[in-house]
Amino acid sequence: MVSGTRSSLSAYASHIASHTASHIASHTVSRRGAACLLALAALGSTAEAHADNIFQSANTQLTASAGGQHTNYQESVQSRNLDSEKGFQGAYQGKVSVQRDMLGIKDVYLSASFGFAKGHTDYDGLLYNQLGQTMPYQAGTQTDTTDITVKVGKAFPLTPQVQVIYYAFYGYHQWIRDSTSIYGTDEHYRHHSLGVGMLGQYAITPQLVASIEGSVGGTIGASMNAGNTAGTFKLGSNATLMGALGLDYAVTQHVHINAAYQVTHFKYGQSNLLASGYIEPESTTTNQTLQLGMGYAF
């Protein structure tokens, strides 16, 4: 009897120990699995939040940049070129932009920039005499260009590394040319513009963001005044096009460096006939700028 009882007790103890070990192992595996799932969820949430921070940091800045601009201006009548102005100028820009949640709307995008270029272009055209005869004529021209642009839009994340911003814009452009020749004069061109655009951004690394941008719009209230002619030339409205490439690198949380290339193309239609008998022919302008700058992310 004693021997049998000990054997039964030993088997029962072995069963309890085995069951307890199995339960502990199962419980341990379950806890580890839950911990892994929680870690993955936290990692995904952190990655998404970090991606938001990347774009918000790149787009919430006060920046100043400098570089160069090339101007290509051509006048024509019935698709026949009359004259052109081409040359390089120094270009400078100040910009403030914000991407933040506002008024219950996620990732609102606001931007305002002021650009100025000053330098020299070369005029290549014709000189007319009182008999209506022409002769080839070249001269130098001092030019000043001012551009103001305001954008309002919204960002849409596509992946943790990619977002797209759709926006509407208002622009103001002014070009003042002053010929250095005794036959030349000063001319003051200006127009407003409205349109829509898209800005695509890709986070190459947590610090480096690449961008590509395009917009289309139209000129409004385009006009020109010439120093030697009374009255204002009302220029016909036409299309405006813009394309740009950019890079933004976060050196620190607040200090950024950036580079940008932009090409802008627009047209003016032929003007009204002034009382003096003059008209301003239709024209096209293509400005290309390349700039490097620094920004403060706030």
At 236-268, the pLDDT tens digits run 899 999 999 999 999 999 999 999 999 999 999
Mean of the per-residue pLDDT values of the chain:
85
Residue 225 in this model has a pLDDT that exceeds 60: yes
Residue 205 in this model has a pLDDT that exceeds 70: yes
CA neighbor of 63 nearest in space, from 264, 290, 256, 288? 256
pLDDT in tens, 63-121: 999 999 999 999 998 878 899 999 999 999 999 999 999 999 999 999 999 999 999 99
Q: Are 144 and 116 in contact (CB under 8 A)?
A: yes
15-19, 89-93, 186-190, 264-268: least confident range: 15-19
Side-chain-side CA neighbours of residue 189 (13 Å) = 23
Residue 290 in this model has a pLDDT that exceeds 80: yes
pLDDT in tens, 269-289: 999 999 888 899 999 999 999
Beta bridge partners of 87: 71
At residue 14, the pLDDT reads 47
Answer with the residue of higher pLDDT: 240 or 20.
240
Residue 296 in this model has a pLDDT that exceeds 70: yes
At residue 182, the pLDDT reads 75
pLDDT in tens, 33-56: 444 433 433 333 333 444 458 999
Six-digit token pair at 290?
Answer: 């390349």
Residue 270 CA to chain centroid, in angstroms? 31
Residue 295 in this model has a pLDDT that exceeds 60: yes
Q: Are 75 and 84 in contact (CB under 8 A)?
A: yes
CA neighbor of 287 nearest in space, from 237, 244, 247? 244
Percent of the chain with pLDDT over 70: 82
- What global pTM score does this model have? 0.80
Cα distance between residue 293 and residue 277, in whole Å: 47
Kind plus residue range of the DSSP H or E element containing 51:
helix 2-59
Percent of the chain with pLDDT over 90: 70
Q: What is the DSSP-derived secondary structure letter of residue 232? A: -
Strand runs (DSSP E) across the chain, as ranges?
61-77, 80-102, 105-128, 134-159, 162-179, 186-203, 208-226, 233-234, 239-250, 255-268, 282-297
**What mean pLDDT do residues 164-182 have?**
93
Cα dihedral 166, 167, 168, 170 sign? negative
Answer with the residue of higher pLDDT: 52 or 147.
147
At residue 183, the pLDDT reads 76
Please report, for the chain, the start and end positions of each structural domain, with discontinuous segments joined by +: 11-297
At residue 251, the pLDDT reads 97
| CA–CA distances in Å: residue 239 to residues 120, 176, 217, 242 | 26, 21, 6, 10
**What mean pLDDT do residues 28-33 have?**
43
SS3 label, residue 30? helix
At residue 52, the pLDDT reads 57
SS3 label, residue 78? coil
- Determine the CATH number of domain 11-297: 2.40.128.100
